[in-house]
Amino acid sequence: MNEEKVNLKAPVYIPDSSYRDYRWMGDYETVYRESVENPEKFWEDIAGELEWDKKWDNVLEWDYPDARWFSGAKLNITANCLDRHVNNSRKNKVAIIWRGDDGCERVFTYRQLFREVMRFANGLKKLGIKKGDRICFYMPFVPEHIIAILACARIGAVHTIVYAGFGSDSLHQRIVDSEAKLVITADVSIRRGKRIDLKSIVDEAIVNAPSVERIIVYRRTKPEIELYAEMELDYYSLIKGESFHCDPEIMDAEDPLFILYTSGTTGVPKGILHTCGGYMVGTYYTSKYVFDIKDSDVYWCTADPGWITGHSYLVYGPLAVGATILFSETTPDYPDLGVWWEMVEDFGVTILYTAPTAIRMFMKYGESWPDKYNLESLRILGSVGEPLNPEAFEWFYRVIGKSKLPIVDTWWQTETGMHMITTIVGQPMKPGFAGKPIPGVVADIVDNEGNPVEPGKKGKLVIKAPWPSMMRDVWNNRERYEHYWNDIPGCYTVGDMAVKDKDGYIMIIGRSDDVIIVSGHNIGSAEVESALVDHKAVSESAVVGIPDDLKGNLIVAYVILKEGFTGGEKLENELKYHVRMTLGPISMPSDIRFVQSLPKTRSGKIMRRVLRAQEMGVDPGDLSTLED
């Protein structure tokens, strides 16, 4: 492994003393130590703040690499996200403020959200949906998306949400793998004033997907699109006349809550499985502890529900703590580059959780946009998805945070379900470093044999003890689940390279596998390669990620053409379009290079690192395994 030294010098920012006073659980060092010495007590205390129909027999049953958390316990996550608040003091508190792409608004109190969820849950029951059935979502950024997610959890069905920017092949693959009985979609998604037809993508995706019995369509535009009565059903006609009361299905702590697909090193995405009890405890804990969400906050997470950030920190975590959540369809640059800051001022946003790629875009256009608005309501800033590079950190801290707000750069994954490494509110911050493991999380940086590496040396980031919201399986693929735990015995291998400084602060350097992170989205090289090879002109392809100031990485594809085809701008555009239509716009290569051969090992494996080095004009490193 490449153990070269990394420059770890960074300024230290000490948060305002008012933040240091904030301690829900007490001082970090003490709480951390206690959490590691007695993890079961630590997690049990947190779980005890939530409502359970029956308490657990054991906090943790650890049969490596399988964990059962809160075994024997019974619960429903929606009872904690809804009933608990409605029955207590948050009945008429605002749960969701939604802002549409065109600026229109809809507001739901906890009581209203609760009723809508129960009504839709009754609609799902009427269709014969039962506990354990999979429901696939392909929905735009509208309140009905959240209502349907919660309704699904209420009756114990398993949601598998597909980001509505994915193409029909990606959607098809996920519907088939999860054997979804039902697809919930909408006529269109609206982005930057433009309508994007979702329904026709679903139409394509369900061809040869025999599990699908019905499609529910939320129609938001007029004239209404036509539906085919044999299979398709309007969102509102489904719930018409349904009762506003639906008791929650009582779930075992280890029953599935959802499957969320993420890109891996092969062409097939992995269905990450999360279960009810542990996931609830993990997302509740981190929403409260890392973000310090209080009743007076207006919390805005800019992620789409289709990503894990949306699942954990737009829906379940903030609702579990009873937050007021701003939920917005708005893109950061439409109608102009001030719209997000206008919203912060207008809604009085106090906690803003966003992604480095958005911050870098704002940086590019300068301070004049945010400076037009009053951002004084803000008290905490958050970042997620990829490393928050020091330049972006400094800008976010100075321009948005007015050189006093804490920035929580949260490192975690679809697989971890919750935040794992960050500087929690009140801790000193170092630009470029995500921070330290939060209490309850045992993280380390090790060499290929699993020995901890010394501060300043690069290594693999691993997690050394189970945590409640860890994934429980890869759907239909036990082997790929075990793979996470086999690389370094006893550890969960994350797939990221990282380095630690003397104080234990962790800097994430990048992926150690062939996953490319573009604007915070995971793209599997192999997925893009197979989409390209699927085109009639392509015989072979290799896809690499090249660092980019704005998006983190850009996708560059090397393509060997079949006999009879010649490369050129026309074919380049055609191939890009082909990838856009099969996988979606986020997976589209920025550049395509037509080549005669690809660097391979003697065993035939494409050496993507050689291509990357060539592209960046740097030393490719060891070439001894290169075939030619």
Catalog residues that contact ligand WT7 under the rule CB under 6 A.
262, 308-309, 384-387, 409-414, 434, 494-496, 508, 511, 517, 522
Q: Which is nearer to ligand WT7, 73 or 588 (CB)?
A: 588
Q: Which is nearer to ligand WT7, 124 or 528 (CB)?
A: 528
Q: How far is the CB of 161 from ligand WT7 (least distance, A)?
A: 13
Q: How far is the CB of 346 from ligand WT7 (least distance, A)?
A: 27
Q: How far is the CB of 420 from ligand WT7 (least distance, A)?
A: 9
DSSP state of 607: -
Q: Which is nearer to ligand WT7, 444 or 496 (CB)?
A: 496
Tokens 């779980």 belong to residue: 47
Print the SS3 string covering 241-273: CCCCCCCCCCEECCCEEEEEEECCCCCCCEEEE
Torsion from C-alpha of 128, 131, 134, 135, nearest 10 degrees: 60
Q: Which is nearer to ligand WT7, 35 or 413 (CB)?
A: 413
What Å distances lie between residue 203 and 121, 232, 355, 439, CA to CA? 24, 11, 32, 46
Q: How far is the CB of 396 from ligand WT7 (least distance, A)?
A: 13
- Alpha helices by DSSP H, 103-231: 110-126, 143-154, 168-178, 199-205
Interacting residues of 469 by C-beta distance below 8 A, sequence separation 6+? 274, 278, 279, 281, 282, 283, 312, 416, 417, 418
**Residue at shortest CB range from ligand WT7:** 414
Contact (Cβ atoms closer than 8 angstroms) between residue 277 and residue 250: no
Determine the 3-state secondary structure of 357 from DSSP: helix
From 111, 198, 113, select the one nearest 147 (Cα to Cα).
113
Identity of the amino acid at 274: H
In degrees, to the nearest 5, what angle opens at C-alpha 361 toward C-alphas 314 and 201?
55
Q: How far is the CB of 490 from ligand WT7 (least distance, A)?
A: 20
Q: How far apart are the C-alpha atoms of 38 and 624, rounded to whole Å?
A: 48
Q: Which is nearer to ligand WT7, 330 or 354 (CB)?
A: 354
Q: How far is the CB of 62 from ligand WT7 (least distance, A)?
A: 23
Contact (Cβ atoms closer than 8 angstroms) between residue 272 and residue 262: yes
From 433, 344, 345, select the one nearest 383 (Cα to Cα).
433
Q: Which is nearer to ligand WT7, 157 or 498 (CB)?
A: 498
Q: How far is the CB of 607 from ligand WT7 (least distance, A)?
A: 21
Q: Which is nearer to ligand WT7, 144 or 386 (CB)?
A: 386
Partners of residue 500 on adjacent β-strands: 506
Q: Which is nearer to ligand WT7, 160 or 262 (CB)?
A: 262
From 408, 361, 413, select the one nearest 383 (Cα to Cα).
408
Q: Which is nearer to ligand WT7, 262 or 469 (CB)?
A: 262
Q: What is the CA radius of gyration of the chain?
A: 24
Q: Within 13 Å, how many C-alpha atoms sit on residue 274's CB side?
A: 33
Q: How far is the CB of 311 from ligand WT7 (least distance, A)?
A: 9
Q: Which is nearer to ligand WT7, 84 or 609 (CB)?
A: 609
Q: How far is the CB of 260 from ligand WT7 (least distance, A)?
A: 9
Q: How far is the CB of 355 from ligand WT7 (least distance, A)?
A: 8
Q: How far is the CB of 272 from ligand WT7 (least distance, A)?
A: 8
> Is 234 exposed, middle or buried (CB count within 10 Å of its CB: 0-12, 13-18, 19+)?
middle
Q: Within 13 Å, how many C-alpha atoms sit on residue 287's CB side?
A: 32
Q: Which is nearer to ligand WT7, 331 or 389 (CB)?
A: 389
Determine the 3-state secondary structure of 500 from DSSP: strand
Q: How far is the CB of 443 from ligand WT7 (least distance, A)?
A: 12
Q: Which is nearer to ligand WT7, 101 or 496 (CB)?
A: 496
Q: How far is the CB of 312 from ligand WT7 (least distance, A)?
A: 8
What Å distances lie between residue 120 and 86, 144, 154, 310, 327, CA to CA? 18, 9, 10, 20, 20
* 415-435: b (≥16 Cβ within 10 Å) or e: bbbbbbbbbbbbbebbbbbbb
Determine the 3-state secondary structure of 122 from DSSP: helix
Q: What is the DSSP string of 413-455?
A: -TTT-S--EE--TTS-B-TT--BEEPTT--EEEE-TTSPBPPT
Q: Which is nearer to ligand WT7, 306 or 426 (CB)?
A: 306
